[in-house]
């Protein structure tokens, strides 16, 4: 089944819709979101499944994705958190950012990303098609070595660079 993303201008205004993989191959700017889950000084990270079409095997935030055409951002964030990690919890929109990066396999992420944060202490039930592993990690430890480590997704590094986390 084809998935579509919402193409946006630099002000995050919708300018079109495009098939997801094609938009990444062409590096077209589109709307996205990331979910960050915290438990005190800890952050929940997942290792992206080896089956993912880009950034496979890298550690990333709890969930991320793209709202479907005509789907609002909070609903999309909740949907993906449940699809990826089997988690349902309250989320709060905190920030928006933009990044553009070559993520391998001739794919370019060019995303205006809305960040949603939640406090969570319960179990996770990761979907093996989405995540190979997960765990709670100390924020201070991640901050210390995220720039020098190759095991983290580009976008997670970017969120730390921008001090969004």
Query: Which positions are annotated as active-site residues?
Result: 64, 111
Residue pair 155/99 in contact (Cβ under 8 Å)? The answer is: yes
- H or E element at residue 20: helix 20-26
How far apart CA 137 and CA 36 sit, in angstroms, is: 12
Backbone torsions φ then ψ of 30, nearest 5 degrees: -145, 165
How far apart CA 87 and CA 126 sit, in angstroms, is: 8
Backbone torsions φ then ψ of 110, nearest 5 degrees: -135, 85
Strand-pair partners of 36: 117
- H or E element at residue 19: strand 14-19
């Amino acid at each position: 089944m084809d998935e579509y993303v919402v193409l946006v201008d630099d002000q995050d205004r919708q300018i079109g819709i495009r098939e997801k993989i094609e938009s990444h191959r062409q590096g077209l700017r589109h709307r996205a979101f990331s979910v960050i889950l915290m438990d005190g000084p800890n952050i929940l990270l997942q290792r992206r499944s080896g089956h993912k079409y880009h950034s496979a095997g890298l550690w990333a935030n709890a969930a991320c994705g793209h709202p479907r055409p005509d789907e609002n951002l909070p609903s999309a964030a909740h949907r993906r958190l449940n699809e990826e990690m089997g988690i349902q919890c309250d989320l709060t929109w905190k920030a928006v950012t933009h990044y553009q990066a070559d993520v391998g396999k001739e794919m370019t992420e060019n995303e205006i990303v809305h960040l949603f944060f939640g406090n969570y202490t319960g179990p996770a039930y990761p979907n093996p098609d989405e995540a190979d592993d997960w765990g709670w990690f100390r924020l201070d430890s991640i901050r210390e070595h995220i720039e020098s480590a190759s095991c983290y997704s580009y976008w997670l590094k970017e969120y730390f660079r921008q001090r969004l986390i």
